[in-house]
Amino acid sequence: MNTETIKEKLEQALTLDVCIVKGESGTFQVIAVSEMFIDMSRVKKQQTIYAHLADDIATNAIHALTIKALTPDEWQKQKHFI
């Protein structure tokens, strides 16, 4: 599993304004920005991302995943710190 594969899966499955994937050796960080996250709880946002990577998590191709799922407004406020 590599960062480009994860990014492609997420971009094909979801309408994302920004999709940044970093990591290696099964440990990855995802930053996903979309208006679809408006009115979602933080847990629901993360579940939305996890749902599209569940098979890779189940096979241990991804064994550690950190997710920041943000609305465009949240991204504007936080992108300077990421």
pLDDT of residue 79: 79
Q: Can you list the alpha helix ranges (DSSP code H) found in the chain?
A: 3-13, 42-51, 54-58, 72-78
Distance from the Cα of residue 39 to its chain's centroid:
17
Is 67 in contact with 52 (CB distance < 8 Å)?
no
Task: Convert the pLDDT of each residue in 53-72 to its tens digit.
Answer: 999 999 999 999 999 999 99
Q: Per mean pLDDT, which range of 5-9, 12-16, 49-53, 76-80 is the poorest?
A: 76-80
Neighbours of 62 (CB within 10 A): 21
Task: Convert the pLDDT of each residue in 7-35 to its tens digit.
Answer: 999 999 999 999 999 999 999 999 999 99
**Residue in this structure with the two tokens 């579940």, named with its chain if needed:** 47
Tokens coding 6: 């994860």
